[in-house]
Chains A and B, each alone.
Chain A
């Protein structure tokens, strides 16, 4: 799969947007969670400190300061316990491990650096400082490093989940997009094959319990192709029917003409009349054949039979065939045919080229030099038929170009017009560009085939 195609896929783009959104959402969620965790945690700690202070104050009321000091010593060493400091009115420490905090009365935060209490480091601390009736001061504090641990744990969890989620999302999207892309490519490949003339090719179908939009795309695409194939078939049958219905009576006409000729016993008048009728029948057939051929080329069930065509050999064959005629008419024909190959139908290309040569022969004065050349331009093989005749007068140039279009051609001059229309149809069937250039003096017709074979 080409990278550019991959990034062009709507699925992949969606995956990237999703990943970015996911990361943003985690970031916002993380910030909000950090804020509320801090708030709730501190609120809790504050309540706990105030509760403990109140309990100890009540103990002081009922039992006195000694009992309070004892209670502090007991609870201070419990795991997860609080920190205490009890000083008397003179500021002497009676109980507890906390160093002097310098905190005002009430609840406050302390931000200590490198302070150690009983061998343990304290950084953030929340303390509640309460005066007791005898003037001594009770300080209850709680280390807040648990809070930052919690915050870090939370942050790490969010990072990992967000990162992993984004990665998994990307991977899943990639897999989904790749699968979808492959199936879309199947449809695209089928479309290409069909437009190249392989009417029987269909987009791949898969057995799915729940058909998705791509299944639906493939199915409707195939339905469309079936319809087109039926249409092409119908056109072909109509052509065949017309051919049969017209050719059979024409066969009879010819048979009767032969009988008339045999019965004429050499009567020159009858023979001449029979010959005239025969010539008319021939012309009728020629136009009719050309139109059927045109319809066949245009409806295009032929392209499936495309094979490599040696353009040099083909041009040589046509040049050899026409040279004596061209020279006998006082014109000159030259051939330049280096090797070039295209994929196509040799018979059709030969007919198109022959039509162009005949056209040059018919529309130039004696003495004209006609050139038939095989060229390669930008890797594209090209057939060129040019002459140094008078070319096309400007007022007729449009007409000549229109001869390449079927409707106009069949309406005006059937014989030669259809010849050019067939050239145009052959070119279009081969996806070749047809160009009519006035090279003053003379006319150049270029048929440029697609690159590669």
Chain B
């Protein structure tokens, strides 16, 4: 996976480069907005990671220019501008995801793979999701584990669906809060953990390892062992 990181803070840029490289990405760096725009136009990247406050051309203008040129590469804004209005501006300006500094590498990695996978996901059989012997029929709204039918509350269905759409990938707590509950703030309680544990109780077979893996410090992933 090729990622272009447009970031003027060298320390952060190096940190992102090392972290993503460790996760198996090929990472290119651009130090200012104009250079970033040029490279994003010329070369095929899977994901762009763009700071908002950049020298020469700010991140929002960069993305707006790209979208005007019909370059549809997914963009993740990685920025210190964390106000609600900034976020709305970023997403309306053509960004696909928005992560506020400081961030954890796992959070960034999880969001980047989710973005990179997005075009591929469109080709998937949207009506039926699967992981190992767990299937989720999205039209009939039924989940089965092997031959066993699983009764799910609407919210549990939504949670499982979200995990399966990112099958094999890590989804973070904030991704779940946004995607499943539509909450764009961090509640100070364990709502995600509690819901995951309830969901595990329903889908897992007794005596076996859970289908939903906890990735320490990052989040959760559903994957067939």
A and B held together in a complex: yes
Q: At the interface, yes or no: A293 with Cβ under 8 Å from chain B?
A: yes
Q: At the interface, yes or no: B11 with Cβ under 8 Å from chain A?
A: yes
B59 to chain A, nearest CB (A): 13
- 8 A Cβ contacts from B38-96 to A: 53, 80-86, 88
Determine the distance from Cα of A89 to Cα of B101 in the docked complex, in whole angstroms.
Answer: 133
Q: At the interface, yes or no: A254 with Cβ under 8 Å from chain B?
A: yes
Q: At the interface, yes or no: A324 with Cβ under 8 Å from chain B?
A: yes
Q: Are B185 and A248 in touch, CB under 8 angstroms?
A: no
Which residue on chain B has the smallest CB distance to residue A313? B182
Determine the distance from Cα of A391 to Cα of B136 in the docked complex, in whole angstroms.
Answer: 45
Q: Are B183 and A354 in touch, CB under 8 angstroms?
A: yes
Contact among A247, A292, A322 with B191 in the assembled complex (CB-CB below 8 Å): A322
- 8 A Cβ contacts from A235-287 to B: 236, 239-240, 243-244, 247-248, 250-255, 258, 281, 285-286
Q: Are B82 and A292 in touch, CB under 8 angstroms?
A: yes
Determine the distance from Cα of A255 to Cα of B102 in the docked complex, in whole angstroms.
Answer: 9
Q: Are B83 and A252 in touch, CB under 8 angstroms?
A: no
Contact among B11, B86, B154, B191 with A325 in the assembled complex (CB-CB below 8 Å): B191
A426 to chain B, nearest CB (A): 11
Q: Are B182 and A243 in touch, CB under 8 angstroms?
A: no
Q: Are B183 and A324 in touch, CB under 8 angstroms?
A: no
Contact among A247, A286, A325 with B186 in the assembled complex (CB-CB below 8 Å): A286
**B187 to chain A: which residues have CB within 8 Å?**
321-322, 354, 358
Q: Are A254 and B181 in touch, CB under 8 angstroms?
A: no
Q: Are B84 and A328 in touch, CB under 8 angstroms?
A: no
**A301 to chain B: which residues have CB within 8 Å?**
85
Determine the distance from Cα of A154 to Cα of B221 in the docked complex, in whole angstroms.
Answer: 103
B52 to chain A, nearest CB (A): 9
Which residue on chain B has the smallest CB distance to residue A245? B80
**A428 to chain B: which residues have CB within 8 Å?**
none
Determine the distance from Cα of A296 to Cα of B154 in the docked complex, in whole angstroms.
Answer: 34
Q: At the interface, yes or no: B148 with Cβ under 8 Å from chain A?
A: no
Determine the distance from Cα of A345 to Cα of B85 in the docked complex, in whole angstroms.
Answer: 11
Q: Are A253 and B102 in touch, CB under 8 angstroms?
A: yes
Q: At the interface, yes or no: A289 with Cβ under 8 Å from chain B?
A: yes
Q: Are B83 and A292 in touch, CB under 8 angstroms?
A: yes
Q: Are B84 and A293 in touch, CB under 8 angstroms?
A: yes
Contact among A251, A302, A317, A320 with B84 in the assembled complex (CB-CB below 8 Å): A302
Q: Are B182 and A325 in touch, CB under 8 angstroms?
A: no
Band of interface residues on B: 35 or more
Q: Are A358 and B189 in touch, CB under 8 angstroms?
A: yes
Determine the distance from Cα of A351 to Cα of B178 in the docked complex, in whole angstroms.
Answer: 12
**A328 to chain B: which residues have CB within 8 Å?**
194
Contact among B9, B84, B189, B195 with A347 in the assembled complex (CB-CB below 8 Å): B84
**B188 to chain A: which residues have CB within 8 Å?**
286, 358, 415, 419
- 8 A Cβ contacts from A308-349 to B: 317, 320-322, 324-325, 328, 345-348
Max count, chain B CB within 10 A of own CB: residue among A247, A255, A296: A255
Q: At the interface, yes or no: A373 with Cβ under 8 Å from chain B?
A: no
Q: For the complex, would chain A's binding face be called helix, strand, loop or mixed by DSSP majority?
A: helix
Q: At the interface, yes or no: A361 with Cβ under 8 Å from chain B?
A: yes
**B155 to chain A: which residues have CB within 8 Å?**
320-321
Q: Are B80 and A305 in touch, CB under 8 angstroms?
A: no
Q: Are A240 and B102 in touch, CB under 8 angstroms?
A: no
Q: Are A247 and B102 in touch, CB under 8 angstroms?
A: yes
**A281 to chain B: which residues have CB within 8 Å?**
102
Q: At the interface, yes or no: A59 with Cβ under 8 Å from chain B?
A: no
**A302 to chain B: which residues have CB within 8 Å?**
84-85
**A170 to chain B: which residues have CB within 8 Å?**
none
- 8 A Cβ contacts from A204-263 to B: 236, 239-240, 243-244, 247-248, 250-255, 258
**B182 to chain A: which residues have CB within 8 Å?**
317, 346, 350
**A320 to chain B: which residues have CB within 8 Å?**
153-155, 181
**A240 to chain B: which residues have CB within 8 Å?**
80-81, 83, 86
Q: Are B100 and A324 in touch, CB under 8 angstroms?
A: no
Q: At the interface, yes or no: B190 with Cβ under 8 Å from chain A?
A: yes
Given known contacts A247-B101, A255-B12, is B185 in contact with A354 (CB within 8 Å)? Answer: yes
A107 to chain B, nearest CB (A): 97
Given known contacts A250-B102, A317-B181, A351-B185, is B190 in contact with A289 (CB within 8 Å)? Answer: no
Max count, chain A CB within 10 A of own CB: residue among B12, B154, B189: B189
Q: Are B80 and A248 in touch, CB under 8 angstroms?
A: yes
**A361 to chain B: which residues have CB within 8 Å?**
189
**A419 to chain B: which residues have CB within 8 Å?**
188
Given known contacts A250-B102, A305-B88, is B183 in contact with A243 (CB within 8 Å)? Answer: no
Determine the distance from Cα of A254 to Cα of B184 in the docked complex, in whole angstroms.
Answer: 22
**B11 to chain A: which residues have CB within 8 Å?**
252, 255
**B153 to chain A: which residues have CB within 8 Å?**
320
Q: At the interface, yes or no: B205 with Cβ under 8 Å from chain A?
A: no
Determine the distance from Cα of A328 to Cα of B104 in the docked complex, in whole angstroms.
Answer: 29
Q: At the interface, yes or no: B138 with Cβ under 8 Å from chain A?
A: no
Determine the distance from Cα of A287 to Cα of B202 in the docked complex, in whole angstroms.
Answer: 37
B151 to chain A, nearest CB (A): 16
Which residue on chain A has the smallest CB distance to residue B154? A320
Q: Are B183 and A321 in touch, CB under 8 angstroms?
A: yes
Q: Are A248 and B9 in touch, CB under 8 angstroms?
A: yes
User: Which 8 pairs from chain A and chain B are nearest by CB?
Assistant: A251-B102, A247-B80, A324-B194, A244-B80, A247-B101, A255-B15, A250-B102, A320-B155
Chain B residues proximal to chain A, CB less than 8 Å: 9, 11-12, 15, 53, 80-86, 88, 100-105, 153-155, 181-191, 194-195, 198
Chain A residues proximal to chain B, CB less than 8 Å: 236, 239-240, 243-244, 247-248, 250-255, 258, 281, 285-286, 289, 292-293, 296, 301-302, 305, 317, 320-322, 324-325, 328, 345-348, 350-351, 354, 358, 361, 415, 419
Q: A248-B80, A321-B195, A350-B182 known; 20 other A-B pairs, CB under 8 Å? A: A236-B85, A240-B80, A244-B80, A247-B80, A247-B102, A251-B102, A254-B102, A292-B83, A296-B84, A301-B85, A302-B84, A321-B181, A321-B183, A321-B187, A325-B190, A325-B191, A325-B194, A347-B84, A347-B184, A351-B184
Task: Provide 28 A-B residue pairs closer than 8 Å at the C-beta atoms, listed in order of the A residue.
Answer: A236-B83, A243-B82, A244-B81, A247-B100, A248-B12, A250-B101, A250-B102, A251-B15, A251-B102, A251-B103, A252-B12, A254-B103, A255-B11, A281-B102, A286-B186, A296-B83, A302-B84, A317-B181, A320-B153, A320-B154, A321-B191, A322-B189, A322-B191, A325-B189, A350-B184, A350-B185, A354-B187, A358-B189
